[in-house]
Amino acid sequence: MNKEQLDYKIRETFSELIIDKALVRQLKIRDNRSIPSFVEEWMVSRFQTGNKSEAEVHKEITDFMSKHLPSKTEKDKIKRRLQLGESVVLLDRFEVRIDLANNRQLLTIPCLDERNATITHEVLDTNESMLEGGQWGAGRLSLRDEGKKKIIELSEFHPMQSGKVNLTHLIKAREQFTTREWIYLLLRTMGYEPFAYTEKQQNHLLLRLLPMIQNNLNMMELAPKGTGKSFIFSNLSRHVWLNSGGALSNAQLFKNLTTKEIGLLGKHDVLVLDEGQSISFKGADDIHAKFKDYLESGHYSIGNDKITSECGLMILANIDLYEDGEPRRVDYIRHLPEMFHDSALIDRFHGIIAGWEIPRFSTDSAADGLGIKADVFGEYLHQLRTVSHTEFPFGDVPELHLKDMRDSNAVTRLATALSKLLLLNPEHPDYEAYVLNPAKDLRTRVRTQLAELDPHEFEAGLKVS
């Protein structure tokens, strides 16, 4: 299959769910504003109608952004308009948290640096996704009186992201593709051009999606700089939170006992800690203990609260390589902060992606044709986390006979995610090569690092009971 044949098959199978990734890149909308790809693609889909030229589409989008997506330097201009009695429509990621003590619903508006606005009950009742880590959309804001104070209120909201994806449509579409062709489609959708990578490299790239599909899946990717490790996590789904370096506290990760706000691990599908080699933690000992508890059980205790979450943890870190592309040290886990040199903590991670097998991202690596719209695909991945087997009959794993229970659980979870992603169950002839073996490889790398950290307790490799 070549590029033209792939584009034809994608167009015929998915019609309105697709977008030309090359056109989106050529328009360079994100050069003007720091926005996720799914927002960028939404705007391109909205304004690319009829026979408009690229210049016309670009102008309409930039005009729209100037009016509805202000930069941080313009926030006081917007507030001044509100002060003068105007209502203003803004495109932003609106998030709501509930203040039970004061019986209020507090709205966060990032572009205005506002955390204590409010929202009408009617709008929140029809957009409860704002309570689940935030929702991108167009919101109408105005100023109203609240006692002796003035407060910004959201009175209308039109979400920009897709609602539920028709999984039956996806299952039928998958029947039109071979497994390798389906991988081509997934890579295009992720923003990569499949024909720029070898099949082995394609398979490694796909693994980045797994924490978005499976609840409480904890992984790492260790790679040199420039391979695009963080790109999909910041651009593909509103349900993922990417933290790029810096110090993290108990309050940020778990719960702020002063404001009662749930932390990052309690609000998202995946928490990604980027630049993992340089990240630091405030109160590292306490965080270390909570990480071990949470990664094992899916819940953590803070104060008098026991909080349960389905959020997975993904660590992205840079490591040094030899000229032949192999890691410079066998115990590459030691590139991470000291907290992660503890075998008991590392054992709770399900898999390590061999990011050193992925080449540097270049212009030629960027998607150069049709793929599924990012907002549609992000919602599809989110649905797969909780979908019933009746509605989506994939995710099956054969009985494993591994000696270590954590190995068995890890391979099962990884294989379940790959089975859902590729729509392959054990009876399919491609299952072992594309699902079971990659899942085992991911966990084997964890075992290798455990043996380096604590050779008296751990052996490298998976042992059959």
Beta pairing, strands 270-274 & 312-318:
parallel
Q: Quick one: pLDDT band at residue 186, thresholds 50, 70, 90? A: very high
pLDDT the model gives residue 86: 92
pLDDT the model gives residue 161: 63
Please compute the mean of the pLDDT values over residues 52-68 and round it to a whole number: 87
pLDDT the model gives residue 162: 60
Q: Residues 66, 71, 73, 77: is their CA dihedral positive or negative?
A: positive
Q: Quick one: pLDDT band at residue 145, thresholds 50, 70, 90? A: confident
Contact 182, 423 (CB under 8 A): yes
Instruction: Name the one residue in this structure whose structure tokens are 């990659």.
Output: 438
pTM: 0.87
pLDDT the model gives residue 222: 92
Q: Which of 175, 238, 220, 145 is nearest to 448 (CA)?
A: 220
Share above pLDDT 70 across residues of the chain, in percent, rounded to a whole number? 99
DSSP annotation of 432: I
Annotate 227-272 with DSSP letters as a single string: S-TTHHHHHS-TTEEEEESSEEEHHHHTB-TTT--B-GGGT-SEEE
**Is the pLDDT score of 322 beyond 90?**
no
pLDDT the model gives residue 422: 98
The amino acid present at 251, given as its one-letter code, is A
**Is the pLDDT score of 312 beyond 90?**
yes
Spatial distance between the Cα atoms of 190 and 174, rounded to a whole number of angstroms: 17
pLDDT the model gives residue 375: 86
Instruction: Name the one residue in this structure whose structure tokens are 């590292």.
Output: 284
**Is the pLDDT score of 245 beyond 80?**
no
Which residue did the predictor score with more confidence, 182 or 97?
Answer: 182
What token pair was written down for 42? 């939404």
Q: Quickly list H helices, 312-358.
A: 343-346
**Is the pLDDT score of 284 beyond 70?**
yes
3-state secondary structure of 324: coil
Q: Which of 188, 68, 71 is nearest to 136 (CA)?
A: 68
Annotate 111-123 with DSSP letters as a single string: GGTEEEEEE-HHH
pLDDT digits (tens, 9 = 90+) for 361-415: 988 898 999 999 988 899 899 999 999 999 999 999 999 999 999 999 999 999 9
pLDDT the model gives residue 187: 97
* Mean pLDDT of all residues belonging to the chain: 90
Q: Quickly list H helices, 15-85.
A: 21-27, 37-47, 54-68, 75-83
Q: Residues 279, 284, 287, 292: is their CA dihedral positive or negative?
A: positive
Which residue did the predictor score with more confidence, 24 or 426?
Answer: 426
Contact 356, 224 (CB under 8 A): yes
The Cα-based distances of 89 to 12, 46, 69, 201, 302 in angstroms read: 37, 17, 9, 44, 39
pLDDT the model gives residue 385: 95
